Amino acid sequence: MVPVSYAVKGTPLAASLWRYKSWRSPDPAARACLLALLLAFLHDHGRCVWRHAGMPAPGRLAVVPTGCGRPGPHPLLALAAPYLRLPVTGLAVRPGEQGRDPNPDRFSAERTGPGASVLLLDDSWVSGASAQSATAALKRAGARHVAVVVLGRHVDPADRRSAPLAARLAPRAYDPDGCAVHLVSV
């Protein structure tokens, strides 16, 4: 799992991660910002992500489904798929399998083909349970490698467990040349 950036509560990135997929009125500016962030990150750092994961460049794309019953394709899939041009492997929430803990049965995945390398996108990461559960479903569906790229790792400065990290992040601006794979510590 590689976060593109931290999404500290109250920052523009954290707001964009909510506004880009707002049910009633998705924000075009937030969508454009997140798409640019994702595409620039994959262009500049994708190869090091694949190398670090011990996999070839991905040949398939999947997106961690939302558990809120949103109709149609996930907004991140609709946003990124036309630009990434990878065949999509569908993931769906199994009825009654929602939760905050990793659960290998939470999602069902379309067959990937034996030995597939999959890029699994997630817009935000709070506990990691959804991405871990989706990875398990993709592996059961035939994927050999799954690289998870997350647009924003949520950090809440008011949470006593994440406050020290948020304090270390505060003086830093987003650096598009920085790659989470190579960061030793923040």
Partners of 92 in the beta sheet? 108
pLDDT tens digits along 110-162: 998 889 999 999 999 888 889 999 999 999 999 999 999 999 988 888 989 88
Contact 41, 3 (CB under 8 A): no
Partners of 120 in the beta sheet? 62, 148
| Residue 183 in domain | no
Query: Do the strands 143-155 and 116-125 form a parallel or antiparallel pair, or are they unpaired?
Result: parallel
Give the chain's residues under pLDDT 50: 184-186
d(CA 142, CA 5): 30
- Which structural domain range is residue 49 located in? 2-169
Phi-psi region for residue 85, left (φ > 0), alpha (ψ -120 to 50) or beta?
left
| Residue 66 in domain | yes
Write the CATH number for 43: 3.40.50
| Residue 181 in domain | no
| Residue 163 in domain | yes
d(CA 133, CA 102): 5
SS3 150: strand
List of E strands, 27-164? 60-63, 91-93, 107-109, 116-125, 143-155
d(CA 163, CA 157): 4
User: What H or E segment, with its residue span, contains residue 118?
Assistant: strand 116-125
d(CA 108, CA 150): 20
Partners of 122 in the beta sheet? 150
| Residue 10 in domain | yes
| Residue 186 in domain | no
- If one counts the domains in the chain, the total is 1
Q: Is the pTM of this model over 0.85?
A: yes
